[in-house]
Amino acid sequence: MDTTLHFLGLPEVLLLQTIIIRHIGGIQGITEQGFERLATALAVPQQSMFGEDLYPDLPAKAAALFDALVNGHCFSDGNKRTALLAMIEFLARNGLRFAAADDDALYDWVLSAAARSTTRVEQAAWVAARCEATNG
């Protein structure tokens, strides 16, 4: 069994933002400080301290990525949408399917994260409750 985690890179997240803007609308592109902020956000799920991962499991890593992207304001538009799609893609690449059955609850969760009304620990628990393993 392959236990290597598959993290997203700059090209993948830039592509996700492009896809979102082309399909839903908005301003495509990255802010003046966006590349630096994006690189920082993409490193968050991989952070460790004293040899221990700060985010110990996939849902925690995914929630940390989401939070870092949402609050990093890397893009001219579509930060929340890009963050959500990046989180879902990260989970999928690592064998988990994100299944939020209630669109209103998902919308509220995204807005609460963007408003910094929830902690990363709370976000991780919310994500974990909505993940299921994929077959393959």
Digit-coded pLDDT (tens) for 52-100:
999 999 999 999 999 999 999 999 999 999 999 999 999 999 999 999 8
Q: What is the pTM of this model?
A: 0.92
Contact 41, 65 (CB under 8 A): yes
Q: Which CATH number fits domain 10-133: 3.30.1780.10, 1.10.357.10, 3.30.420.10, 1.20.120.1870?
A: 1.20.120.1870
Give the position of tokens 């709370």: 122
pLDDT tens sequence across 11-63: 999 999 999 999 999 998 898 898 999 999 999 999 999 999 999 999 999 99
Map out the domains of the chain as residue ranges.
10-133
